[in-house]
Amino acid sequence: MSRPADYTLPTTTVGLTGPVRKPAPGTLPLRGDLAHIALAGQYLATQYVIPLCREVGPDGAHLRLAMRDDAEMGAEITAGTTVELLDCAGDWAWIACGPEGPSGYVRLSALVPSE
């Protein structure tokens, strides 16, 4: 399963009007270079992405805070959970459980292959 998530682009200029507290790693789907489209207007990023829906494979997955097998673990995602794929690099995927998180990295092999 791989389909665009149901989000729309902002219709007005995106900008911030004051200081914003940086969220803890592994919470909101926000990096310096990329953020979930639903966070536009709340957090500043170079680019915003409308994620693709994917499903976690039969073994489930632990979110990692970096693209390394020895990186600190975040939330555990159970098998069959629909997640939002935000970015891929090599054999790693940056995913979130929605715009409120949690977010983190998993190996692409932890997700059900797209059709």
Higher pLDDT residue, 48 or 12?
48
pTM over 0.75: yes
The answer to whether 94 and 63 have CB atoms below 8 angstroms apart is: no
CA–CA distance, 113 with 34 (Å, rounded to integer)? 23
Residue whose token pair is 């975040």: 74
Higher pLDDT residue, 19 or 69?
69
CA–CA distance, 77 with 81 (Å, rounded to integer)? 7
| Per-residue b or e along 22-38, where b marks 16 or more CB atoms closer than 10 Å to that residue's CB | eeebbbbbbeeeebbbb
Residue whose token pair is 């997955």: 61
Q: Give the pLDDT confidence of 17-60 residue by residue, as tens digits.
A: 666 788 999 999 999 899 999 998 888 888 999 999 999 999 99
